[in-house]
Amino acid sequence: MHWFSPSIPVKTNQAGITRQVSSVEAAAEELLTWEKKGAAWREAVQACIDAGEGRATPEVARRAFRAAAKACGMLRENL
């Protein structure tokens, strides 16, 4: 596992349920469930791949995942 901290809170398909994403692997899985995709989403997917293969740090993947969550409307802010 490639952990990052703090975790990123994201929305789920269940009303009122938030998922706390705290690893590169969990971020990669979560990205695959999102309907909205775009440039930030693609960058986050690549960052997760790179971190999993040792070409980037978990922090790089965390930042990219957070940016994608915000861009795709999945970030749960103010928790």
Sequence ranges of the domains in the chain: 3-71
Taking the whole predicted model, whether its pTM rises above 0.85 is answered as yes
- By residue count, the chain amounts to 79
> Of the candidates 17, 8, 16, 26, which has an alpha carbon nearest to the alpha carbon of residue 75?
8
Give pLDDT, residue 79: 58
| Alpha carbons within 13 A on the beta-carbon side of 39 | 0
Amino acid at 31: L
Per-10-residue mean pLDDT of the chain, 79 residues long, equals 93 89 97 94 98 96 97 87
